[in-house]
Chains A and B, each alone.
Chain A
Amino acid sequence: MKKVKRDVFSRLKRIPTAHFSMWVVGIICLIALLSYLNVPLTPYSFDQTSETVLLGPSMAHWMGTDELGRDVLTRVIYGSRLSISIGIITALVGFLVGTLYGAIAGYVGGKVDSVLMRIVDIAYSLPDLLVMILLGVLIGRGTVGILLALALTSWRGTARLVRAQFIQLKNEEFVEAARAQGQNHLLIVLKHMLPNSLGPVIVAMTFTVPAAILSESTLSFIGLGLSPPACSWGTLASDGWRALRTHPHLIFFPSSFIFMTVLAFNFLGDGLRDAIDPRTRI
């Protein structure tokens, strides 16, 4: 298993875009983590106002200041905390719930499988944005509402994926062998089937992160996100776009961070898929 991991890693390194993206993702996650631990990366605080409003980028303020004289760089760093953590938490929740759900459906099969999968079909037929807006209205603005709304829509794909993997693996010879040895179901699932189905699931997870970051930005952009002075990249972009023609730096920096992160995660996912799949040549 260890060797497989090392193998995947070295294969991943051979894909230049993926290798580069790995660094980008790593740095952004590190920034978010440092911000979360309240490590001062800039001399300003994210809600510290000043007299110098709407300055363009300069030496004192690398990304300029906003309408209330707050340092945009500080706010982008502070915003990364929410945007990244929402992306990762959503992906993790989607991974756990989806895997459990898909594993049960795929392993048990039969009527249980059809019932569970019809539920997924129904969940898929609901428009994501509508569900999120409704939830936002019910729970109110804030991190919890956004997280719940995103988690609720993130598990369905994983569930389908894992189920398909399990149905395929169920009839493989090594699973049959384990069963013949009299191992119980839980052990078979955990030891034999899950590790063998993880590859595509991890790839799917890396794609969930940017999707969740984008969804959070969308929600914040239409005004269902955080309430001020807290901010995420989405709320920053939402506040900044009004000044697009006079002070473009207000929207340029947060949105380029969204763009960069989403792109990096997507490249990383692409690379992982190629690296995990033994059939591709790298």
Chain B
Amino acid sequence: MNLENTISNPQPTSLNRSSFIVSAIAIIAMSLVLLTGCASRSRFTPGVLRMNLGTEPPAIDWHITTDATSGDVIVNIMAGLTQYRKNLSAAPSCAESWEILDDGKRYVFHLRNDIFWTDGKPVTAYDFEYAWRRIEDPKTGAGYADFLNDVVNAKEINTGKIKDLTQLGAHALDAQTFEVRLKKPAAYFIYMTAHWATYPMRQDVVEKHKDRWTEPANIVTNGPFKLDRWQHDYKIELAANDKFFEGRPALDRIKMFMVAEQSTAFALFENDELDYVDNRSFSTHDVDRYRDSPYYKRVPLLQGTYIGFNCLKKPFDDKRVRRAIAMAVDKNVFPKLLRRGERPSNSWIPQEIPGSSSDAALTFDPEAARKDLADAGFAGGKGFPSVPLLYPNREDTRLIVESIQAQLKQNLGITIELLNQEWKVYLATRRQDPPQLFRANWIADFPDAQTFMNLFTTGNGNNHTRWSNKTYDKLVETAEGELDQKKRVGLYQQADRILCHDEAAIVPTFVTTQNLLLKPWTKGIEFNALDIQFFKTGRIDDSNESLNKVEPPAEIIKPATKPIEPANSEVKKP
């Protein structure tokens, strides 16, 4: 009966149609709910850390590369003689103990016998010997070759004066003992053995695969993780190394994405597709929004930012022009622009490190700047060429260089051009043919003034200013060999003043702070003032205990800078 009615009556048909639409909408809505429900359930995968590298690492070969992005990968797949503790002192790693002999001029490292490469072969002192010879071999073209300048014959081999690599003062006495001879005592030397430039390397692997030895299929490493996949310009995947000598790390897998755009990366983080963000993905605008979050953390960094001059190119071959630029830039503006805990620089050595002083650099003085510029023949900025200022393609650097451009125009009446390049291209340009002005930064390799001051000595591979000053070189060299901390600090202060005040080869702008925002499930990652992110202690899980949350707001970490006294040539046991 009802059935007949429905058929004969046109009204219910339309009802049927509308009910069809209603049910269709209901089905779609339900499936949407289900889908989003699924998404919210898998906000993270336990044991898998997803982070943003920000850019493709130029190379993984730890002799070729000098940049921090590559470092982030290398420190997690390799282990060196020593490693940094959280307070930045050197702790045993591959070496279980070491002796300091001959008034600090000879180091003997005793290696553990239970360390293996990812292909199962043991790590021996010969692997260190090969690596140290390779980094000094001029054929390698290592950016960090100068790093080991204190080692006997290192400089001579690197500059080609000595052809025989075995003359290098670093020898494997046997498979478990590695001996290093230094030209002069160096208070900071033990820190260097924790740096990735001094990591061991496998001769057979490098020689077999040549340029392609760092490809995931070829590379052999000894660290907590191994390089599993490398999809260029997209992501790198690391997998836990079951055979790691300190024990298998808690994380199974690390996915390192390469998202250059800060805002894109931050959107990924907010969408639960990254487990934490740091400065690379955390712009000022986003910091403003999360300033009060319990998961927001600040870690001071020993990272100085500066404007470099190419001191061989006109008009910056004239130090009056350089001084004029230095005095025309108000450094107090930068922290206000970036608002991420930056500190304006009064010297090239950051204030946390002994050797820094409050008045080493030229201060903001537009009057004096205009006078110096006029003395150099550019009164009122007239006749000043339009020089380029090179900067890498990162959003926060644009603000800084635009501000400098505006300040120079306002205070000196000169116009500079801004030249923006992608990270790899920028690094290559800076190395091969640095333009008149460039923005650069330097993160300490170890917590000592040496890492900042040696950078600008004549012939240092990372001294892109091409500036050369005999007095400065001499002061830095003396300071490096000086073991009396007080005298050493004095020498560095003098050198700093020559660099940033008298000669103004660079304009130190500010010291950065690492800004971090973590997901509640991201725990245990060690962030230190050297900006080395060690993932071996990291965890991704939803246990209630939240290490990062309860930690007090980060303070300035006072790095351990006590020099190792040569008198007590002790044997350190872990």
Asked if A and B are interacting partners, one says yes
A28-56: CB near B (< 8 Å → 1, else 0) gives 00000000000000000001110101000
- A245, B289: Cβ atoms under 8 Å? yes
Identify A68's interface contact among B283, B288, B395, B399, CB under 8 A: B399
Closest-CB distance, A181 to chain B (whole angstroms): 60
Hey, which chain A residues are within 8 Å of B285, CB to CB?
Answer: 242-243, 245-247
Q: What's the Cα separation between A53 and B405 when bound, in Å?
A: 17
Q: Is the CB of A246 within 8 A of B420?
A: no
User: Inside 8 A of B419's CB, which chain A residues have their CB?
Assistant: 227
B409 / chain A contacts, CB cutoff of 8 Å: 47
Q: Is B487 an interface residue (CB 8 A)?
A: no
Q: How far is the CB of B289 from chain A (nearest CB, A)?
A: 6
Contacts of A243 in B (CB 8 A): 285
Q: B239 near A: Cβ within 8 Å?
A: no
B28 CB-CB contact with A under 8 Å: no
Please give, as numbers and ranges, the residues of chain A lying within 8 Å of B402 by CB-CB distance. 68, 228-229
At the interface, yes or no: A113 with Cβ under 8 Å from chain B?
A: no
Per the 8 Å Cβ criterion, residues 395-436 of B in contact with A are 395, 398-399, 401-403, 405-407, 409-410, 417-420
Given contacts A67-B337, A227-B420, are A49 and B398 in contact (CB under 8 A)?
no
Cβ-defined partner of A48 (8 Å) among B283, B286, B399, B406: B406
The answer to whether B262 and A242 have CB atoms under 8 Å apart is yes
A51-B336 CB under 8 A given contacts A227-B418, A242-B283, A245-B289: yes
CB distance from B33 to the nearest CB of A (A): 26
Report yes or no: A229 in contact with B283, Cβ–Cβ below 8 A.
Answer: no
A68-B401 Cα distance, complex, nearest whole Å: 11
Q: Does B177 contact A (CB under 8 A)?
A: no
Report the minimum CB–CB distance from B78 to chain A (whole Å): 35
B351 located at the interface, meaning its Cβ lies under 8 Å from any Cβ of chain A in the complex: no
Say yes or no: is B263 at the interface (Cβ < 8 Å to chain A): yes
A236 to chain B, nearest CB (A): 13
Kindly state the separation between the CA atoms of A53 and B289 in the bound complex, as whole angstroms.
16
Q: Given A68-B403, A245-B285, verify A53-B395 contact (CB < 8 Å).
A: no
Neighbouring B residues of A68 by C-beta, 8 Å: 337, 399, 402-403, 406
**Distance in angstroms between the alpha carbons of A241 and B286 in the assembled complex:** 12
Contact with A along B312-344 (1 / 0, CB 8 A): 000000000000000000000000110000000
Contacts of A39-89 to chain B: CB distance below 8 A: 47-49, 51, 53, 67-68
- Whether A53 contacts B336 in the complex (CB less than 8 A), given A48-B406, A242-B263, comes out as yes
Complex interface: chain A residues within 8 A of B286 (CB): 245-246
Docked-complex contact B406 and A229, CB < 8 angstroms = yes
A67-B399, A242-B285, A245-B289 known; A53+B406 contact, CB < 8 A: no
Interface size of A by CB at 8 A reads 17
Assuming the A-B contacts A242-B262, A242-B285, A246-B285, are A228 and B405 also in contact, with contact meaning beta carbons closer than 8 angstroms in the complex? yes
Chain B: minimal CB distance from A199 (Å): 45
Q: How far is the CA of A184 from the CA of B403 in the complex (A)?
A: 63
Q: Is the CB of B418 within 8 A of A53?
A: no
**How far apart sit A53 and B395, CA to CA, in the bound complex (Å)?**
17
Instruction: Kindly provide the distance from the CB of B435 to the nearest chain A CB, expressed in whole angstroms.
Output: 14
List of A residues within 8 angstroms of B337 by Cβ: 53, 67-68
Q: Which residue of B lies closest to A49 (CB)?
A: B406
In angstroms, Cα B407 to Cα A51, docked, is: 12
Considering the chains assembled together, what is the distance between the CA atoms of A249 and B405 in angstroms?
Answer: 24
Contacts of A227 in B (CB 8 A): 417-420
Complex CA gap A49/B410 in Å reads: 9
User: Is B262 a contact of A229 with CB atoms below 8 Å?
Assistant: no
Contact residues in A for B289 (Cβ distance below 8 Å): 245-246
Distance to closest chain B CB from A74 (angstroms): 13
Residues of A within 8 A of B405 (CB): 47, 228-229
Min Cβ gap A201→B in Å is: 40
Q: Tell me which residues across on chain B come within 8 A of A247, comparing CB atoms.
A: 285
User: How far, in Å, is A251 (CB) from chain B's closest CB?
Assistant: 11
Residues of A within 8 A of B395 (CB): 242
Please, which residues of chain A bring their CB within 8 A of the CB of B283? 242
Q: When each residue 80-106 of chain A gets 1 if its CB lies under 8 Å from chain B and 0 otherwise, what string results?
A: 000000000000000000000000000
Report the minimum CB–CB distance from B280 to chain A (whole Å): 14
Contacts of B263 in A (CB 8 A): 241-242
What does the 1/0 interface line of B6-21 toward A look like (CB < 8 Å)? 0000000000000000
A230-256 interface (Cβ within 8 A of B):
241-243, 245-247
A223 to B289 CA separation, bound complex (whole angstroms) = 26
**A42: shortest Cβ distance to chain B, in Å?**
17
Q: Are B403 and A49 in contact (CB under 8 A)?
A: yes
Q: Is A49 in contact with B336, judged by CB distance below 8 angstroms?
A: no
Q: How far is the CB of A238 from chain B (nearest CB, A)?
A: 11
Give complex CA distance A227, B418 in Å: 7
Cα distance, A31 to B121, chains bound together (Å): 74
Q: Give the residues in chain A near B406, CB-CB below 8 Å.
A: 47-49, 68, 229
A72 to chain B, nearest CB (A): 15
Task: Tell me the bound Cα distance from A247 to B288 in angstroms.
Answer: 10
Q: Is the CB–CB distance between A49 and B407 below 8 Å?
A: yes
- Nearest B residue to A50 by beta-carbon distance? B406
Contact residues in B for A241 (Cβ distance below 8 Å): 263
Alpha-carbon distance A48/B407, docked complex (angstroms): 9
Q: Using an 8 Å CB-CB cutoff, how does the interface string of B240-268 with A read, 1 for contact, 0 for none?
A: 00000000000000000000001100000
Q: A48-B406, A49-B403, A229-B405 are in contact. Are A246 and B262 (CB under 8 A)?
A: no
**In the complex, chain B residues whose CB is within 8 Å of the CB of A246:** 285-286, 288-289
Interface readout for A214-236 with B: 1 if CB under 8 Å, 0 if not?
00000000010001110000000
The answer on a CB contact under 8 Å between A228 and B288 is no
Inter-chain contacts of A229 with B (CB < 8 A):
402, 405-406
* A228→B262 contact, CB < 8 A: no
Give the residue among B402, B409, B410 with the most A Cβ atoms within 10 A. B402
Nearest CB in chain A: distance from B151 CB, A: 45
CA A67 to CA B336, docked complex, whole Å: 10
Kindly name the residue among A47, A53, A242 whose own CB sees the greatest number of chain B CB atoms within 10 A. Answer: A242
Distance A247 CA – B399 CA, assembled complex (angstroms): 16
Shortest B328–chain A CB gap in Å is: 13
Task: Write the chain A residue with the least CB distance to B419.
Answer: A227
Task: Give A128-145 interface residues, CB cut-off 8 Å to B.
Answer: none
Chain B residue with Cβ nearest A227 = B418
A29: shortest Cβ distance to chain B, in Å?
Answer: 29
B contact residues around A67 at 8 Å (CB): 284, 337, 399
Chain A positions within 8 Å of B403 at CB level: 49, 68
List the B residue with the shortest CB-CB distance to A47.
Answer: B406
Q: How far is the CB of B352 from chain A (nearest CB, A)?
A: 28
Between A and B, 8 residue pairs with Cβ closer than 8 Å are A47-B405, A67-B337, A227-B420, A228-B398, A228-B402, A228-B418, A243-B285, A246-B286
Q: Which residues of A contact B (CB under 8 A)?
A: 47-49, 51, 53, 67-68, 223, 227-229, 241-243, 245-247
Other A-B pairs, 19, CB within 8 Å; known A228-B401, A228-B418, A247-B285: A47-B405, A47-B409, A48-B406, A49-B403, A49-B406, A49-B407, A51-B336, A53-B337, A68-B337, A68-B402, A227-B418, A227-B420, A229-B405, A241-B263, A242-B262, A242-B263, A242-B283, A243-B285, A246-B286
User: Which residues of B approach A to under 8 Å, CB–CB?
Assistant: 262-263, 283-286, 288-289, 336-337, 393, 395, 398-399, 401-403, 405-407, 409-410, 417-420
Q: Which 3 A-B pairs have the closest CB atoms?
A: A49-B406, A246-B285, A243-B285
